[in-house]
């Protein structure tokens, strides 16, 4: 009875204090870290916990939310909402599990202002999850900039960690984002994943002055591929599995994350952050640290085609810097002569080698 009264009181306080939906933009580095799968399963778990959830799908094609879960009709009415022809409630497609889905691809949303886009996230939903599609520069869309939290999904492997760091760096310098949440996906050992996130947080704090907070981890589960083949989420299809349990745990914690200002609220500082990037980049190089662009795998300016020796030296430096960076995060150092300038810096070692998947979608 006491717990019931406490829950009622907490629910009343949230109702009275509510100033709109909590918006979470979910993204990740290159490859398939599992962001779409995370969005779908978190939506299902949050809905099962009594939350009104809206999923905004910024992606198109076979890796989109609509393609992954199937059975969502009427999810493509974004333009009708913007034109005022439909209310958000009328435009949103409903999945069988109860959460709403609205497709908002880049082409559909490019012509609208921030005030118009705000209509989409100011509806009745308790939580809005955006499967965020970053642009060519690694920046959020104007719609995703309304997010209060940016959740980075990554795997605990050398390349995925490097990609996640590059993703955060670009987002930080594009929007002056100072805090990120990190979800470790497809992990073999939760304690190893937590240690990697803590190490990554140290690197991000030191070189970017950015804080990272763990959103938890999701266990590698052989049933995930089967759930995808069935166009189901593992939380619903196989609720007793370890991955389903982990998604429910993350979902239970998400509503209690401290509410932060939306990313768009930081936009006045974006120009200043971009201006400071050049100075920070030069300071890191002068101190002998890996330049941020090198960790992104970006090409280096000023290397001419005929400068073969200089190019090889640059590649060797890049490989060594990448080795040093990921070793600092994972705590695992490459064996001597395990890599070469001609091969990827992470070749020959991973803290957690992902199992082979039969599905090409985000797992």
Instruction: Return the CATH number at 111.
Output: 3.40.50.300
Q: Is residue 304 assigned to a domain?
A: no
Helix (H) or strand (E) holding 212, with range, is strand 211-219
Number of domains making up the chain: 1
**Bigger pLDDT: 242 vs 316:** 242
- How far apart are alpha carbons 120 and 130 in whole angstroms? 11
User: 231 pLDDT band (50/70/90 cuts)?
Assistant: confident
Task: Among 222-236, 250-264, 344-358, name the one with the lowest average pLDDT.
Answer: 344-358
- Which residues form the domain of 210? 17-261
- How far apart are alpha carbons 270 and 257 in whole angstroms? 24
Is the pLDDT at 167 greater than 50? The verdict is yes
Task: Specify the pLDDT at position 320.
Answer: 56
Give the rounded distance of the alpha carbon of 358 from its chain centre.
23
Q: Which residues of 307-341 are buried (b: 16+ CB within 10 A; e: fewer)?
A: eeeeeeebbeebbbbbbebbbebbeeebeeeebee
**Bigger pLDDT: 193 vs 16:** 193
Q: Is residue 100 assigned to a domain?
A: yes
Average pLDDT taken over every residue of the chain = 76
Is the pLDDT at 204 greater than 60? The verdict is yes
Task: Specify the pLDDT at position 112.
Answer: 81
Q: Is residue 291 assigned to a domain?
A: no
Task: Specify the pLDDT at position 359.
Answer: 38
Task: Specify the pLDDT at position 94.
Answer: 87
Question: What is the DSSP-derived secondary structure letter of residue 252?
Answer: H
Q: Please state whether the predicted TM-score (pTM) of the whole model is above 0.75.
A: no
- How far apart are alpha carbons 7 and 9 in whole angstroms? 5
- Give 8-29 pLDDT, tens digit per residue: 554 444 444 445 789 999 999 9
Q: Is residue 86 assigned to a domain?
A: yes
Beta bridge partners, 225, equal none
- Give 16-68 pLDDT, tens digit per residue: 444 578 999 999 998 777 999 999 999 999 999 999 999 998 887 777 787 77
Q: Is residue 324 assigned to a domain?
A: no
Say which residue the tokens 């069935």 belong to: 230
Considering only CA atoms, which of 44, 34, 80 is closest in space to residue 220? 34
CA torsion sign for 233, 238, 243, 249 is: positive
Q: What percent of the chain has pLDDT over 90?
A: 44
Q: Is residue 178 assigned to a domain?
A: yes
User: 162 pLDDT band (50/70/90 cuts)?
Assistant: very high
Q: Is residue 281 assigned to a domain?
A: no
- Give 90-136 pLDDT, tens digit per residue: 888 888 899 999 888 776 676 788 777 887 888 889 999 999 999 99
236: its two tokens: 């619903």
């Amino acid at each position: 009875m006491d717990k019931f009264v406490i829950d009622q009181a907490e629910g009343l306080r949230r109702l009275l204090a509510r100033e709109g939906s909590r918006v979470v933009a979910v993204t990740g580095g290159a490859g398939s870290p599992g962001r779409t799968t995370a969005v779908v399963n978190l939506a299902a778990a949050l809905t099962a916990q009594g939350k009104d959830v809206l999923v905004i799908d910024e992606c198109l094609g076979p890796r989109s939310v609509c393609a992954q879960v199937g059975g969502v009709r009427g999810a493509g009415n974004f333009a009708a909402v913007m034109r005022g022809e439909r209310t958000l409630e009328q435009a949103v497609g409903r999945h069988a599990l109860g959460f709403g889905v609205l497709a908002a691809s880049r082409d559909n949303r490019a012509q609208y202002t921030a005030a118009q886009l705000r209509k989409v996230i100011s509806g009745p939903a308790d939580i809005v999850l955006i499967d965020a599609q970053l642009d060519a520069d690694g920046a959020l869309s104007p719609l995703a900039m309304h997010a209060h939290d940016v959740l980075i999904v990554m795997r605990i492997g050398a390349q995925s960690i490097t990609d996640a760091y590059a993703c955060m760096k670009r987002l930080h310098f594009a929007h002056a984002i100072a805090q990120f949440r990190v979800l470790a996906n497809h992990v073999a050992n939760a304690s190893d994943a937590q240690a990697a996130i803590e190490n990554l947080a140290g690197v991000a704090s030191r070189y970017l002055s950015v804080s990272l907070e763990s959103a938890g981890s999701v266990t590698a589960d052989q049933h995930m591929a089967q759930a995808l083949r069935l166009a189901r989420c593992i939380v619903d299809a196989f609720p007793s599995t370890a991955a389903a349990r982990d998604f429910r745990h993350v979902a239970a914690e998400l509503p209690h994350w401290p509410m932060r200002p939306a990313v768009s609220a930081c936009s006045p500082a974006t120009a200043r952050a971009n201006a400071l990037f050049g100075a920070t980049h030069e300071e890191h190089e002068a101190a002998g640290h890996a330049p941020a662009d090198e960790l992104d795998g970006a090409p280096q300016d000023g290397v001419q085609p005929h400068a073969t020796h200089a190019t090889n030296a640059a590649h060797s430096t890049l490989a060594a810097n990448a080795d040093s960076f990921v070793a600092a995060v994972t705590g695992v150092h490459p064996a001597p002569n395990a890599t070469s300038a001609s091969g990827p810096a992470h070749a020959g070692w991973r803290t957690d080698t992902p199992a082979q998947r039969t599905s090409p979608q985000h797992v």
